[in-house]
Each structure stands twice: as C-alpha cells, then as structure tokens.
Amino acid sequence: MTDRRPAAVIILAAGEGKRMHSSTPKVLHAVAGRSLIGHVLEAASAVDPVHVVVVVGHGRDRVLAHVEEIAPWADTVVQEEQRGTGHAVRIAMSALVSEHALPSGPVIVLSGDTPLLTGDTVEALVEAHHSSGAAATLLSAVLADPSGYGRVVRDAHGSVAAIVEHRDADEATRLIDEINAGMYVFDSEDLLPALERIGTNNDQGEEYLTDVIGILRAQSQPVAALLVPDSHEILGVNDRVQLAEAAALMRDRINDRWMRAGVSMLDPSSTWIDVDVDLEADVTLLPQTSLLGPTSVGSMARVGPGTTLTSCEVGEGAVVIHTWANLAVIGPRASVGPFSYLRPGARIGEEAKVGAFVEMKNAELGDGAKVPHLSYVGDAEIGAGANIGAATIFVNYDGQEKHRAVVGRHARVGSDTMIVAPVTIGDGAYTAAGSVVTEDVPPGAMAVGRARQRNIPGWVERKRPGTASAQAAAEHESAPTETTQESKETP
C-alpha cells in the first residue's frame, strides 16, 4: 500500500434490518464475540483513515452508545430518514465538509453489516484505487449464483462500464457472474458533486450510491473494480439465517488460523472461538468447546469436551473438562471438572484441583489445594495444600451481607462440613465430618461442631404406623437372630 492516507471511511449502518425480526438493531448483532459494526470498524482501522464516520438511523441511541464504547475515535451522523445509500453518503460528506472542510484524498464507503470483510481487503481496495488512477474503484466478487445482485459490466480494457441491477439486466447481462459488493473508494473531489446529481427516479424512490458510478462514466471518468479473492468477505447479514452462516464462516476462518499456529482441535466444527481469544501453541481443544471474550489459554493446556470459558485465563498445562466458567483464572497444571462451575472471581492455583459438581465464586484456591467434589465455595480463601471434603458448603450469606472465610495451608475439612463465615480455620487444622463451624479453629486443632447422636427407639412405629418403613422395622424385630436359633438347638 502507498503512503497516501485515506481521507475518510464512511460506514453505512442506518438500516432497520426488518428481516432480523429483532428489537436489537441489525448492526449490533454479534459474530464471534464482536458486533457486525465492530468487525467493519476493525477492518476500516487497517488503512488508518483521517476520519471515520458511521451513519446511523434505526435504533440510533443504542448504536451511537455502542460505537462510542468500542470506537470513541469515530464520528457519527444521523440519517433521520433512510432514503438510500447515496443519501446516507451525502449526509456523511456534508458533515465532514461542515466540521473539517472538504477532505482531500480517497473516501472509502463500507457496509456496516459485512462482518467477514478483512482489513487486508480494504487495504487492497485502496491500493488498487491508487494504482488505477480511477475516479472510483468498487469491490466486486464472483458468485456461483449472482441472482439479485447488480452486475459489473466491464469494457474491452477491463474498466467498469456500468453496474446493471438484476431487475434491469437483459439475458446476456444476467449471465455475468461478477457482482457489485456495494463497497467503494472515491476521490473526494469527484464524489461530492456527483452525489448532488443523484436522482430518485427508481422503484424505491431512493438515492442510490451506484448512480455515482453512472455519473462518473458519463463524464468519461475512469472507474475500476477490484475482484475480492474470497467472495465470503462481501456477504451482508440481513436475517438470522445469514447471521448463522456468517458465524459459521467466521468460526472456520478463526479455527483455521489457530490450527495453523499450532493449536489442536479434534472437531473444529463444534469448536467456537471469539476474535479476542489468545491461544498458545500446543493447546488442545476437544469437541463442544466455546472460548468467548478475551479468554487466554497457555501452552499444553487441554480444554473440553463440553466446556464454555468466558473471559477466563487458563495456565500452561491445565486440564479443564465439562466446565462452565466466567471471569475465572485457572493456574498452571490445575485440574478443573468434570461438571464444575467457576463464577466471577474464582482463582485456581497451580496444580490445584476443582472436581465434579463444585461451584466456586469470588474464591481463591491455593497451589496444590483440592476441592474434589460436590461442594460450594463462595467468598473464601483456601490455602496451599488444603483439602476440602465432599459436600462442604461455605455459608457466605447471612441474608443481608456476604462474608469471607479463610482456610489455612494444609488444613483438612471433613466431608459435609458447613463453614459459616466470617470464620478462619488455621494452618494444618482439621474439622470433623458433618461439623458446623461457626468459630475460628486454631492452627493444628480439630474442630468438632456437631450434636451428640441420640436414638429414639420405636419412633417409626409410633409416628409412621402402617408405612413400609414401620413394616420393615417390625419384621426385623420379630425375626429370630442367629444366636437365638443356636440357643434353641442347645440341649
């Protein structure tokens, strides 16, 4: 690419997207963890334009807020009435002229609903525009079925002679399989006066940006076209079917990149990775795994099957099986799962273990510590080497406030223990199985927090007469014991 910097990128994002049948504006629907408009903004940033202008309309408040959040450097302009693509670009150019004077240099126009567009293609489009010396350069693609798209008609020299809409094309023109992608580069000096000449003499009564191409050609201005190598890049999203298709194509693109970088996937078709995920070489991802948000996974780690990690950090050599985790940190060589639930604030230390049916929230498990199974650990700090017995519950909520519990290094918490926070169990201390711990346990002590067992004879017969339990108890009491039989046989 040359050093000539684009004056502006205009992104058209005002459409209602009726076919989405959604209360969410179309461009805010997500693919691979990023909104449709977010993908296009990312592609636009590759050419480092002086200005970026997003034209918004339907759902403007939500779209404006989203653009401000993800791209505060972009300007926005409202298209009060959606009167066509030419009208939208004219509004954007008027705003640029009003605020910054007429920008000098190329102006790029992109569609806000094309999430598969890459920065490399935008760069190539600008480079093709510079190389050709054309007044306008459009992006085109070859489709196996071009029905419904405007055809790119080239002259004998390969320049664009016209764009003919499908409904206006004759039989010969409809045989052309090169279509207009609806994305362009214009010289700003040529674009603005051409926009003023666009009419509305068409079926929709709208101002079409494609008419600019006809106006430039009528002025003998050259128009070029860049054929995109991968036609998937120009696919727009207009309904839920196309959204799913775009997501699948993006999944395949992302997975292909990671596998070529040294990540193993047993079933790429069931492995979903967001664009902000970071993986190191020699990671293994098993089937039905989703890595969402800014998740990172260290080398030699194994994740899956049946695992969803959102904004998590997984250390080198860790193993995570059948787990759902959100905003959690899993240390090197730790083991998590199966069927574990790590909620925000869970931190698993090096070589620590979180086993089957364990839930953790806002809790730290020290290096080498274990919570093997069937436990809830909330608002807690568990020291290195400690062991938490099965069915242990950290009782962290008193009905009004959350409280924190501390378990010391190499402590042993017996099965079915209730740890009622705030409380501290000291280093090396034990608790007896079935205890309810409400007071601090000194280091090295054994805590026994349970009532003495008391058996009430005959309770079932009196309180549950006629039940199967009462009958079984009665049969047991009436059955002769082995000792009784022997005594009867003794002379």
- Domain positions in the chain are 8-234, 262-447
Q: Which residue has the higher pLDDT, 364 or 200?
A: 364
Mean pLDDT, rounded, of the chain: 93
Given the DSSP bridges, would you call strands 160-164 and 151-154 parallel, antiparallel or unpaired? antiparallel
**Residue 79 corresponds to which amino acid?**
Q
What does the pLDDT look like over 101-141, one tens digit per residue? 776 889 999 999 999 999 999 999 999 999 999 999 999 99
- Which DSSP symbol is given to 396? -
What local confidence, expressed as pLDDT, does residue 490 receive? 41
Specify the pLDDT at position 2.
Answer: 41
Q: Over the stretch 251-294, which tens digit does the pLDDT of each residue have?
A: 999 999 999 999 999 999 999 999 999 999 999 999 999 999 99
Compute and round to an integer the Cα radius of gyration of the chain: 34
DSSP state, residue 269: G
Percentage with pLDDT > 70 across the chain: 97
Segments in 379-467 forming alpha helices (H): 459-463
Cis peptide before 491 (omega within 30 of 0): no
How much is the pLDDT for 12?
97
* Annotated catalytic residue within 29, 51, 66, 373: 373
Q: What is the pLDDT of residue 158?
A: 87
Q: Does position 371 have pLDDT exceeding 80, yes or no? A: yes
pLDDT in tens, 227-242: 999 999 999 999 999 9
pLDDT value, residue 181: 95
Whole-number Å distance between alpha carbons of 183 and 116 = 13
pLDDT, greater one: 455 or 311:
311
Measured between alpha carbons, how far is 1 from 226 in angstroms, rounded to an integer? Answer: 14
| Residue 73 DSSP symbol | T
CATH 3.50.50.60 is right for the domain spanning 8-234: no
Give pLDDT tens digits for 7-26. 999 999 999 889 999 999 99
pLDDT of 1 reads 39
| Phi then psi dihedrals of residue 83, to 5 deg | -115, 35
CA–centroid distance for 491 within its chain? 85
Average pLDDT of the residues in 46-59: 95
The yes-or-no verdict on residue 29 having pLDDT over 50 is yes
Residue bearing the bigger pLDDT, 394 or 168:
394
Kindly list the distances between the CA atom of residue 15 and the CA atoms of 30, 60, 240, in Å, as whole numbers in the listed order.
16, 10, 15
Give the pLDDT band (50/70/90) at residue 487: very low
pLDDT recorded at residue 482: 54
- Please indicate whether residue 373 is annotated as part of the active site: yes
**Is the bond into 422 cis (omega within 30 degrees of 0)?**
yes
In the chain, what is the greatest distance between 2 CA atoms, to the nearest angstrom? 131
Q: What is the pTM of this model?
A: 0.90
| Fold annotation for 262-447 | UDP N-Acetylglucosamine Acyltransferase; domain 1 (2.160.10)
pLDDT of residue 98: 85
**pLDDT score, position 365:** 98
What pLDDT digit, counting tens, does each position of 75-88 carry? Answer: 999 999 888 999 99
Mean pLDDT of 412-440: 97
List the single range of 169-178, 319-328, 480-489 with lowest mean pLDDT.
480-489
Task: Decide if 138 contacts 213 (C-beta within 8 A).
Answer: yes
Cis omega (within 30 of 0) for bond into 106: no
Give the Cβ contact number of residue 302 at 10 Å.
18
Q: Can you tell me which residue has the tokens 């996974």?
A: 297
Residue 481: per-residue pLDDT: 59
